[in-house]
Amino acid sequence: MKIMMLCALLALLCGCASPVWETVSDDVPQEEAIAVWQEEAYTITLGLPQEAVLQEADAGRSRYRVAETGLEIMTEVFLSSDLHSALRHVSGQDADSLTVLETTRFSLPEYQFAWYEAETGQLCRADLVMDGMTCYAVVCATPEDAGDSLLGEVRAVLATFGLSRDEGV
């Protein structure tokens, strides 16, 4: 009788084992994620001054400089989860310290803002377009003492800010 009771209890305990859960890892290799993201992102188009020379270019980022005037033009395509982190990425400033003008460009939200970069002594103006988590930024930086004289050139550059996609035609 004791053996029968023990066998019955053991049979009941068989169902107490935890089920095997099948999981899928969310870890996507970084290189693959960046490659897919870059294929889907637009390309920034811009009308640059004739004297602008490419100083630096790497994945999603370019920097041009006009030697005569000191005007620097930077373009960048990057990922950001929200506006505040995108503003910080572009300007290095907290969103609370910036006055941001919100408009639309290409039916997407556009944010225009300016700040003073104390480390380099530059006046900076940026246009930021957000397409979901993909951000497209153009920043124009002028030497502090030449800000007024270069205002027209900065406006002309920012007015030509566009996005295009290579359709593989």
pLDDT averaged over consecutive 10-residue blocks of the chain (169 residues)?
65 59 52 53 90 90 92 93 92 91 92 92 94 92 82 91 77
State the pTM of this model: 0.74
Domains annotated for the chain, with CATH where assigned, are 47-164 (3.40.1000.10)
Sign of CA dihedral 97, 61, 167, 156: positive
pLDDT at position 32, please? 46
pLDDT at position 59, please? 80
pLDDT at position 87, please? 94
pLDDT at position 81, please? 83
* Alpha helices (H) along 116-163: 151-159
* Structure tokens given for 103: 């408009």
pLDDT at position 5, please? 66
